[in-house]
């Protein structure tokens, strides 16, 4: 399986949730319109933790991730997020089994 993924946890500054979420929605619009290799870009609030956001990202392969990183909407997000984020934790994932959006199972 050649998919590549990320699990990202953002800890937001107090009071930054609404502005951060608006930035994420703007970014997701660009991803849906311009990134066929981005299979999943799922953003979540964390129940009981109003300053936490969790993203699960799944790309067709590492090249699709690199293309995602080059996109203007992604570059804008990476620059602007610093206004709202106190801490970022990133796990790079190499999927090896499961059920994926393409319907393929490994």
Please answer whether residues 57 and 16 qualify as being in contact, where contact means their C-beta atoms are separated by less than 8 angstroms. no
The predicted model scores a pTM of 0.90
Tokens 């089994």 — which residue? Answer: 97
In the prediction, which pLDDT does 106 show? 46
DSSP state of 82: G
pLDDT mean by block of 10 residues, the chain; 106 residues: 92 98 98 96 97 97 97 98 98 89 55
In the prediction, which pLDDT does 1 show? 58
With H, G, I as helix, E, B as strand and everything else as coil, classify residue 45.
Answer: strand
């Amino acid at each position: 399986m050649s998919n590549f993924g990320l699990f990202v946890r953002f800890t937001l500054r107090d009071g930054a949730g609404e502005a951060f979420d608006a930035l994420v929605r703007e970014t997701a619009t660009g991803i849906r319109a311009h990134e066929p290799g981005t299979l999943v870009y799922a953003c979540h609030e964390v129940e009981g933790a109003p300053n936490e956001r969790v993203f699960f990202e799944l790309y067709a392969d590492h090249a699709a991730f690199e293309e995602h990183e080059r996109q203007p909407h992604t570059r804008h997000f990476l620059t602007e997020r610093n206004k709202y984020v106190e801490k970022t934790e990133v796990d790079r994932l190499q999927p090896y089994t499961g059920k994926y959006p393409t319907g393929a199972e490994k």
